[in-house]
Structure 1
Amino acid sequence: MLYAFVFFTKLQSQKLFSSSKDLTTHIESIIIKENNQKKDTLELKKRLSFLKESSNKKYHILYDALLANGYSVFFDKTNPQSEYHYLKSIQEAQKSKDLSLIIWTQLNYSKYLYFYCQIDRLTPIVLKVMEESNQIDSSEMILPGETFKFFGWIMFTIEDDSAVDFLKKSMLYMKGTSSESADVLNAIGNCYFRKKDLVNAMHYFDKSEAVALKTNDSVRYAKVLGDKALIYNKKGDVDTAVNLLRQDIAYSQKFKIEKNEMYASILLAKILLKLNNKIEAEKILERAGKIAGTKSYYRSSLKEVIELKLLLLNGEDSQKELILRRQLKQVEEYLLQTNGNTVLKRTNWLIQKKKYEDETQKILLELEKSERIRNIGLLILISTILSSAIAYVFFTKRLENKRLKEEEYENDLLMYEEKLKDVSSNIDSYAENLQNKDKQISFLEEELEEIKSFTSKHSEQEKNKLQQMLSSHIMTDENWSAFKREFINQYSDFYYAIIENFPEVKESNLKIIMLQKLNLNNYEMSNLLGVTIDAVKKSKQRLKKKLGDKYDLLFEMVEYKT
């Protein structure tokens, strides 16, 4: 009897222990299974209904995240449905305070942005996720191998040296020989190729090829052949390079891997042009161009195809050249907003800036441990001296400045109005002007308060003058139109995302949202719009009532740094 009691007690304790531990494993199995499913959205909702009906809220989060993936595949482009469910999954994960889910939901959204080349939107999220990943043991993450592999992809895309470290770390969590490990080995090889370390690059390409053959991964095998061709071409063995690329294209066509066929075709066309084999190059580019034109996220490849076609023409057909150059201009304009060189350079700068800030923070923390008391004392002393000096200058010149400010504000008003009409100014100067305008309004209000107690004719005239100046500082429809144009020019992705995803938002709501995006508070908004603070608050409350659950998603988008 005692033995039976001990046995069942141990069995129950094992179940309680494993239920929490197995939750992550179960979530991982669902995610992996859904990665291989066709994304018919109606069928997907039925298949995932058990998650939505579960009493465990963590499964609700998983439902929204996987549904967002389904819409992404279904529409094959960025879309409002995916955006809504991605952001909802992230928001609910944050409410749950489960760091593994917080990291995974943001990573899931990041993959969506990465796939559709939204690099500028992606960067701040990835930086945040990287920071959060340092706060949790890797074994507690959801699919840690996939997490570190994605970090490696991002670092490789922006040409950061940490890519190899992330990719090698992801290999620690790959279970045996698999397509995933072949993918990572190939990515490491590309990192070394970019560093011009051809020996290590070929070593990892060989390992990737061996795994691909062992797992019957035709996609990876075809890709490795193309990557090896890069090395042979670099070494001057052009014949081997051409032969490998032709094999790559043949495999890609056989298994309908259009993306890989497109990449291999572009590489082969470049080599054929150097060999002056224009006929084959033209044929290959025609096929590659058709593939590149089918997806918006193939625009980088389409740009390469057009540039190669121009080289092929060599000025011999002016009409065709004109058409191609017009196409090239359109593609370049699109790439400037997604994954063009400007965006990638800015992204790389953000990554390096974040690294610098992290290193600086570590140094400051070390210094603080040994010199905290001395530094604080010195800071207090300096602050006291500066405060005293500022106070002295302020009080001695206050009366003189007061007289000069009235004259300056009249001139500033004219200058301000001209700046608003100048559409060549950027949104940062608008924000600065709006803040300056708020300061002017505050000053005028203070001046009016001070002369209220006087009854002389002179004070009454001054009061009327100040009142006119105050009224003229309120933002007019003309000024608002100029401001709005510049805002859209600077924050086009944000503005059109609001218009597309929140059709309930009216023009009056947009004013509040756009000023909020520029970090203006309720008091500053009320001054600029010529309404009370309560009116601004009520406007936000009405918007919240109108949007319901989508209100938090709206202001989460507002707070994202772009």
Structure 2
Amino acid sequence: MTFCTKKIRLFFVLCAFVFFTKLQAQKVGSPLGGLITNIESAVTKEDNPKKKDTLELKKRLAFLKESSDKKNNILYHALLANGYSVFFDRINRKSEYYYLKSIEEAKKSNDLSLKIWTQINYSKYLYFYCQIDKLLPIVLKTMEESNQIDASEMILPAETFQFFGWIMLTVEDSSAISFLKKSMQYIQESSPESASVLNAIGNCYFKNKDFTNAMLYFDKSEAMALKIKDTIRYAKVLGDKALVYDEKGEVNTALHLLKQDIAYSQKFKNEKNEMYASILLAKILLKLNNKNEAEKILERAEEIAGTKSYYRSSLKEIIELKLLLLNGANVQKELILRRQLKQLDEYLLKTNGNAVLKRSNWLIQKKKYESETKEIRLQLEQGERIRNIGILILISTILSSGVAYTFLAKRLEAKAEKFEEYESDRLAFEEKLKNASSNMNSYAENLQSKEKQIAILEDELEEIKSSAAKHIDEEKDKLREMLSSHLMTDENWSAFKQEFIKQHSSFYNTIMENFPELKESNLKIIMLQKLNLNNYEMSNLLGVTVDAVKKSKQRLKKKLGDKYDLLFEMIDYNS
């Protein structure tokens, strides 16, 4: 490697080091490392809606609270907040306090993975209790932060991306599908989570009116649910497939699937899913003017909707359907229903009504625009940095080139003197070869001397190959020309063969008589072997590799078989 090349490489390395060090400084450091698995295990263990005893929960989590590691304390607050959420089954002050405390402490820890998880943990609570307005700013911020960390360093990445997908699906944003598909990379293939995500992707396509892909993913989710015997998921998929059949006008199929959905939900006491399926069934029955059955279905759905405050959005749908059923037939009942509807509208205006969803969607689009603008600005700044580095490299290259030119000029001058010496030696050697006596031993010595000079020339070629300068190409051509003049060309071989026959006519005749199958290429090897040249010397004279010489001998042995040993006995005997 030339001095110039080394300098340029060193300069590039230094520039790259400075540039990437600055970029790295802008990123957040590695978070939990080995603790991630422990945290995920603790979170999964406590993810059970049936555990409503908060005193028992505190005992189970005591080891986290008493730990000297602040990250365990953060986990304690977050899991305790979840416990109070299950206990109260509604928005409550205790959960709020511990959720916010866990987020605040996570921020202080400078651990981005923990910060993201505490925010997601709180966001799920808000989502479950329909606090969309309060939820969305936190989720958007968390999405932005998740781009600053590798998924392998996140706590429960599958749940994180899955949750992002649910939120975007709720507010009807197109990014939902990409988030849900991303979550599939971190989910066990045959699992309830996998069936759930496949179902959610199907719902995304359904909302986009892509019924073909919607049915494709519903079928996948159904197959998965049956495989792992997840009956509740199977029931939900049946209800979702009913929507597609209803859109296609296949009403009877839709009715059959919804009734199956309701039956499974009742059997396994999943009231939430029963309520959703009942509302969908009532809508189709109303279109068919089957008012009596629709009324019965809605009564049961309303009974379920009245049990939870976060079912009020569904309760609003039920009341609207009941008003359609009445159609002015009972003014007093209609008045009561409209009062209920007004109260629900006022409540939903602050939680997850249509107005909130539209406002949320607008907020997402605004955030996307801001993110794109920020990305463009960063790209421009990065382009400016790269331009400045390019100018420095150009200046350095010009200076280095000046030094390199002086160095190469001196080297070329020295090389020119060497070439004159080589050329003189070559001409003298050729003259010597032409005037060689008929003595074959002298001829063999000349060949061996020739091989040594070839080796010297090859070493010089290797040295010159390492140079990147274009000026050296001319030198390479000269050396190749000189090297080729020393090879055993057809013309040289013919002269060599005639001289060999003169000195070893008896050997030659015996060989030709006993081995008529030999070819000219075989004779070359045999004659050079007779002169005691080794494989390396033969390869240089013949202009081939050592391996090629070995293979030639192997082919000769294969051709002659048992006669091969006889051949070499004759060579040794006549030496």
Matched letter for residue 340 of structure 2:
Q
In 1, the alpha carbon distance for the partners of 2:33 and 2:174 equals 35
Residue 325 in 1 paired to residue 344 in 2?
no
Matched letter for residue 50 of structure 1:
F
Aligned counterpart, 2:418? none
Structure 1 gaps of 5+ residues are 1-18, 375-562
Aligned counterpart, 1:349? 362
Aligned counterpart, 2:119? 106
Cα RMSD between the aligned structures? 1.7
Matched letter for residue 331 of structure 2:
S
Q: 1:59 aligns with which of 72, 92, 95?
A: 72
Aligned counterpart, 1:273? 286
Residue 217 in 1 paired to residue 230 in 2?
yes
Q: 1:297 aligns with which of 296, 303, 310?
A: 310
SS at match of 2:262: helix
SS at match of 2:90: coil
Does the aligned pair in 1 maintain the 2:53–2:87 contact within 8 Å? yes
Give the C-alpha shift of residue 60 in structure 1. Answer: 0.9
* Residue correspondence of structure 1 range 223-238 to structure 2 within 5 A: 223-238=236-251
| Deviation readout 1:32-58 (Å, 9 max, x if unpaired) | 111125121111111111111222221
In 2, the alpha carbon distance for the partners of 1:53 and 1:235 equals 59
SS at match of 2:174: coil
Q: 1:368 to 1:96 in 2, by over 3 A?
A: closer
Structure 2 gaps of 5+ residues are 1-30, 388-575
Percent identical among aligned pairs is: 77
| Deviation readout 1:372-397 (Å, 9 max, x if unpaired) | 999xxxxxxxxxxxxxxxxxxxxxxx
Does the aligned pair in 1 maintain the 2:32–2:153 contact within 8 Å? no
In 2, the alpha carbon distance for the partners of 1:280 and 1:172 equals 44
* Residue correspondence of structure 1 range 326-475 to structure 2 within 5 A: 326-369=339-382
In 2, the alpha carbon distance for the partners of 1:20 and 1:339 equals 35
Aligned counterpart, 2:266? 253
Give the C-alpha shift of residue 243 in structure 1. Answer: 0.4
Aligned counterpart, 2:41? 29
Aligned counterpart, 1:438? none
Q: 2:136 aligns with which of 113, 123, 126?
A: 123
| Deviation readout 1:461-502 (Å, 9 max, x if unpaired) | xxxxxxxxxxxxxxxxxxxxxxxxxxxxxxxxxxxxxxxxxx
In 2, the alpha carbon distance for the partners of 1:240 and 1:146 equals 34
Q: 1:319 to 1:363 in 2, by over 3 A?
A: same
Aligned counterpart, 1:139? 152
Q: 1:41 aligns with which of 21, 42, 54?
A: 54
| Deviation readout 1:437-470 (Å, 9 max, x if unpaired) | xxxxxxxxxxxxxxxxxxxxxxxxxxxxxxxxxx
In 1, the alpha carbon distance for the partners of 2:209 and 2:370 equals 30
| Deviation readout 1:85-136 (Å, 9 max, x if unpaired) | 0011011111111111000000000000111111111111111101110111
Report the TM-score, using the length of structure 1 for normalisation. Answer: 0.62
In 1, the alpha carbon distance for the partners of 2:269 and 2:87 equals 19
Aligned counterpart, 1:88? 101
In 2, the alpha carbon distance for the partners of 1:104 and 1:29 equals 14
Matched letter for residue 183 of structure 1:
S
Matched letter for residue 232 of structure 2:
V
In 1, the alpha carbon distance for the partners of 2:352 and 2:135 equals 11
SS at match of 2:186: coil
Give the C-alpha shift of residue 217 in structure 1. Answer: 1.1
Deviating beyond 6 angstroms after TM superposition, the runs of 4 or more aligned structure 1 residues are 371-374
Give the C-alpha shift of residue 366 in structure 1. Answer: 3.1
| Deviation readout 1:387-432 (Å, 9 max, x if unpaired) | xxxxxxxxxxxxxxxxxxxxxxxxxxxxxxxxxxxxxxxxxxxxxx
Give the C-alpha shift of residue 368 in structure 1. Answer: 4.1
In 2, the alpha carbon distance for the partners of 1:227 and 1:113 equals 25
Q: 1:275 to 1:101 in 2, by over 3 A?
A: same
* Residue correspondence of structure 1 range 470-509 to structure 2 within 5 A: none
Aligned counterpart, 1:308? 321
Q: Kindly name which structure, 1 or 2, has the bigger radius of gyration based on alpha carbons.
A: 2
Does the aligned pair in 1 maintain the 2:180–2:201 contact within 8 Å? yes
Give the C-alpha shift of residue 213 in structure 1. Answer: 1.1
| Deviation readout 1:226-248 (Å, 9 max, x if unpaired) | 00000111111100100000000
In 2, the alpha carbon distance for the partners of 1:360 and 1:116 equals 33
Aligned counterpart, 1:432? none
Q: 1:253 to 1:274 in 2, by over 3 A?
A: same
